[in-house]
Structure 1
Amino acid sequence: MNKPAIKSNNKTTVITTDDILVMLCKSVTDVLANANANMVTYSALVQKISKTSLKPDIGSFVLFDGGFSGLVVVNFSAAAAIEIYQSYMTNMGIPLPELSTRHTSDDVGNVMGELLNQILGDFTSLVGKELQTSITQSQPKMLTVNKQLIISIDTNLDRPQARRVTFTTQNGNIFYLELAMDRTEFIKLHDFVPEDYDPDDIIRGASEQAKKDKKDEKPDDGFDASLLDELGI
């Protein structure tokens, strides 16, 4: 079981924007590690930035809303995108010679978009479990760009904050994650145990219950069971 992204202590726990950023970074490293066995690390230092933007070579942005609103932008260098894409696909059993070597190909964009969707899905799950609130996300779309494009949230933020984190792939290639959201604090009123649901366990439990229900089914009391025996049923 994954360790909580947020550590509690005996004092009143206050969860800030930067703690939420750490949760997002944890989702990035966990999902990429599980998806392609590629160890990705992020810098211990975070940059304060004034605006978020898409930058070359390939990037994506995702809006989220609910308990709090924000914007996530991820910018990959061509080398980082190709490395992650090829590691993911070879881990799925696709031979390397059959894979694209150009970051502008649709195949690369589709795979990177799917991985980002998994990352945001893991993040929203963490938010629900550890912050006890709900957020929803837009569908990510990967874009290849050859110049910087400023991206902003189409809503009024009272106290906007923006951060940039540097990630490094196993082969030393770089990509960046940018987060913009309203300055917020979650203050824990009382202790609670974060609930951790395993979707596979839920599916298995439903399947076993269906089998049990079917096994427990009996003919109506008024039905002559001997007739079934005569018919060979």
Structure 2
Amino acid sequence: MNLSKTSSSGIAKLFAHVVQDLLQKTTGKKFHISTTIMQIPNIKLSGDISAFVTYYGDYNGLMVFNFEGPAALEVVRSMLSGMGLGEEDLPKNHTSDEVRNNVGEFTNQAIGKIRSTIQLKYDIAAKANIPAVVPITVPLSITMETKGHTEMECIRIVFTTEQNNRFHMELAMEPMSWHSLHEATGGGI
């Protein structure tokens, strides 16, 4: 990724690829990222299980994962199988506490890996709260306020599992365009 002009959509791609890599490494399965990043009017908690986490610091935002039951169950079962658990020890239903707990753990790992990747690539940092995981019965809109920005850029990215289950990552980010200080000044500081 060329830092000379990195926008919110460029950062969203980084989020997506880090999540895909994390899923594939922890499960041993393939996960497809849609070729389209969708700009959406707001962020919602939807599906059967949602996990969300805020990040704040040099850059700020909100990351949400929305899962229908079959997608959450497939992802969690694949993660636990990848850790060596046998079939008899895997959750059988998406409503189990084990599925919700592991969706939360996955979300925590994802935001941690995303933050460290951004810090290594761009030399900027953010902290994150502990993710919250909630079972959903009706969609809920969620917003975040940040210093000086009243309108967040909202983006949805679709992931597809090997069994063709889909889940969404939604991001609310401050409008941003990142530029390299070195490229802007023609070299070092």
* TM-score, normalization by structure 1: 0.75
Determine the structure 1 residue equivalent to 2:88.
97
SS at match of 2:62: strand
Query: Are 2:126 and 1:140 aligned?
Result: no
| AA at the equivalent of 1:122 | K
Matches within 5 A, 1:93-172: 93-155=84-146, 157-172=149-164
Q: Distance in 2 between matches of 1:185 and 1:158?
A: 17
**Residue identity matched to 1:14:** K
Q: Greater share of strand residues, 1 or 2?
A: 2
Letter paired with 1:94: L
Deviations 1:98-153 (A, max 9, x none): 22211111111111111111111110011101111001111112211111011111
Partner of residue 173, structure 2? 181
Q: Which protein is bigger by CA-based radius of gyration? A: 1
Matching residue of 1:33: 24
- The Cα of 1:159 is off from its aligned counterpart by 4.3
- Asked if 2 retains the 8 angstrom alpha-carbon contact of 1:161 and 1:183, the reply is yes
State whether residues 27 and 120 of structure 1, in contact with CA within 8 Å, keep that contact through their aligned partners in structure 2: no
Corresponding residue for 1:22?
A: 13
- Residue of structure 2 in register with 1:58 after alignment: 49
Q: 2:141 & 2:38 partners in 1: Cα distance? A: 17
Displacement of 1:155 in angstroms is 3.5
TM-score, normalised by the number of residues in structure 2: 0.91
Secondary structure of 1:68 counterpart:
coil
2:51·2:103 contact (CA, 8 Å) conserved in 1?
Answer: no
3-state SS of paired residue (1:103): coil
Count of residues in correspondence between the two structures: 182
Larger relative contact order (Cα-Cα within 8 Å, sequence gap ≥ 6): 2
1:198-217 superposed Cα distances (whole Å, 9 cap, x missing partner): xxxxxxxxxxxxxxxxxxxx
Q: Percent identity?
A: 29
The amino acid of 2:162's aligned partner reads Q
| Alignment-derived partner of residue 67 in structure 1 | 58
Runs in 1 of length 4+ with deviation above 3 angstroms? none
